[in-house]
Structure 1
Amino acid sequence: MDNVGQYQQLAVTYATEYGTKLVAVILFWLVGRWLIGMVGRMLQGVLERQKVDPTLMRYIGNFVSVTLNIVLVVAILGYCGIQTTTFAALVAGVGIAIGAAWGGLLANLAAGIFLIVLHPFKVGDFVTAAGVTGTIKEIGLFITSINTPDNVLAMVGNNKIFSDTIQNFSTNAFRRVEMKCQLSGEADHVAAMLLLREKLAQVANVLPDPQVQVEILEFTLLGPVLAVRPFCHNDHYWQVYFDGNKMIRESLAAAGFPAPMPVQTVMLQKQFAC
């Protein structure tokens, strides 16, 4: 009976000790998580007042949240009597292993930070990045989402974007529309150039300054090829492109310019028998 009583007393002692620690750990975790959330909200408020970019705010918020959660876990383990120095060394070793295994992922993360800091483009810009042309939808931690003109969502790694050439079509106030016009070799190219400059200036959303450029670009067997280049805002590029091509066709036809037709010269040589 004495042994049973000792075991019961020992069980009560351990249950009281570890039960108290378990309750304390739960309280520490709940209070710690509440404090981390409060710090995150305070940090977000400060960054919003400073008008920090929303994507950069998310970077900073995630970094602070992860760091504070690691500190909270280490503190709880230390309270429970676990050697946190060993745990910290283990975490560092795991971090090195993960870093080596996921080097590309970390490179995308670093490139994403540089994209936010250097700000080569923002959400809503029309760009060509890493060979993908479209509108920036989101700049994420590891990838950037781009909506292409044919409404396909392309997700490109930030490191690939940052290491390649970036063309931002939304930065400047206007851009040049590239079109060509094939003339017949029999057509009066000077009259055609004057006509196209006049007609294209009347197309909707074509800017009066800079003026429409129409010059001879090259020559083919059919005749001279004109470079037709109006200017417009980036939002109106495709409208000006399609309306401009239609205007070229209709204005030249209405003015009676001959259509370019392939011409071949055949030379016959008579041979006289001796």
Structure 2
Amino acid sequence: MYINSDQISNYASKFVDVLLDYSPKFISAFVILFIGLYAIRLINRIIRKIMVKRNLDPTLTKFLADILLWALRILLFVTFISKLGIETSSFVAILGAMGLAVGLSLQGSLSNFAGGMLIIVFKPFKVGDTIEAQGVIATVVEIQIFVTKMLTANNQTVFVPNGSLSNGTIINYSMQGERRADLTFAVSYDSDIKKAKEVLLEVLTKNPNVLKNPAPEVFVKNLTTSAIEFSVRPWAKNENYGVVFSQTLENCKTALDEAGIAIQPYTIQK
């Protein structure tokens, strides 16, 4: 095989010329890339500190900071390829088409994203709240962009899509700070109604975990064919609700027994 040394020399010379002509763009593009990445991290850190100082919601702070981070990265990438000499208009068109295709294929995810935005903006609950939604009662651990992470009382982690949360009914047990326990006790018709009310109310007033304001209530709820039903309603702080519920059941049963008041079979409900 014959190799033309002059032709090889010509190709090498052209390659060197192209390399010399292109190297300034190449070097400047990577300088911009490295400086831009450092600047983006610095800006993101400063923005986070500012939002923390202004006492913004932690979930909103993280969400806005992440959006800013990716917006700046995309802008930097477009600047980088533009500096390399690549036509950005066609690239942006391709990126838009890809975004449309991805959006159509991820409609459910976009619904969850929109739901996350609604939750963050309107705040039906926040991290640390105990809520009931989508058949789950749990404490909110983290509000992510697409799902909300919750922890149940038996230490199970549950991820609920934000789209379902934002469109469904949410019961927030923590928002008001106080919660009322609604219990029912059924006693025999042979019992003295006034005495039974006094016994039950005394149990509530002696419990230090039961709030004085709003005041606890005891009243006749219903007269059935076999029993007199009393509604017992103590109030408690959210953190003491479970304790108050359990103590009320136990202490009322003990007090009624000591007073000689017979409890009729009844399923106690919340």
When the two structures are superposed, what TM-score results if normalisation uses the length of structure 1?
0.87
> Aligned with 2:206: secondary structure?
coil
8 Å Cα contact 1:112/1:158 also seen in 2: yes
Q: Name the residue aligned to 2:186.
A: 182
Give 1:124 deviation, angstroms: 1.3
Residue by residue, what CA displacement relative to the aligned partner does 1:140-171 show, whole Å, maximum 9, x if unpaired?
11111122222222111112111122222222
8 Å Cα contact 2:216/2:234 also seen in 1: yes
1:155 aligns with 2:159: yes
Identity %: 29
Distance in 1 separating the partners of 2:104 and 2:164: 19
Give 1:246 deviation, angstroms: 0.5
Aligned counterpart for 2:234 among listed residues 225, 230, 233: 230
Aligned counterpart for 2:212 among listed residues 208, 211, 215: 208
Amino acid at match of 2:160: V
Q: Name the residue aligned to 1:128.
A: 132
Distance in 1 separating the partners of 2:264 and 2:45: 69
Distance in 2 separating the partners of 1:4 and 1:145: 64
1:239 aligns with 2:243: yes
> Aligned with 1:201: secondary structure?
helix
Distance in 2 separating the partners of 1:209 and 1:78: 67
Q: Name the residue aligned to 2:101.
A: 97
1:37 aligns with 2:41: yes
Tell which deviates more after alignment, 159-168 or 232-241: 159-168
Amino acid at match of 1:105: S
1:142 aligns with 2:146: yes
Distance in 2 separating the partners of 1:67 and 1:170: 35
8 Å Cα contact 1:25/1:76 also seen in 2: yes
Distance in 2 separating the partners of 1:87 and 1:179: 66
The number of equivalent residue pairs is 262
Give 1:240 deviation, angstroms: 0.6
Give 1:7 deviation, angstroms: 2.3
When the two structures are superposed, what TM-score results if normalisation uses the length of structure 2?
0.88
Q: Taking structure 1 as reference, are residues 58 and 221 closer, same or farther at Cα in structure 2, changes over 3 Å only?
A: same
Q: Taking structure 1 as reference, are residues 219 and 180 closer, same or farther at Cα in structure 2, changes over 3 Å only?
A: same
Give 1:221 deviation, angstroms: 4.0
Structure 1 residues not aligned, in runs of 5+: 263-274
> Aligned with 1:93: secondary structure?
helix
1:119 aligns with 2:123: yes
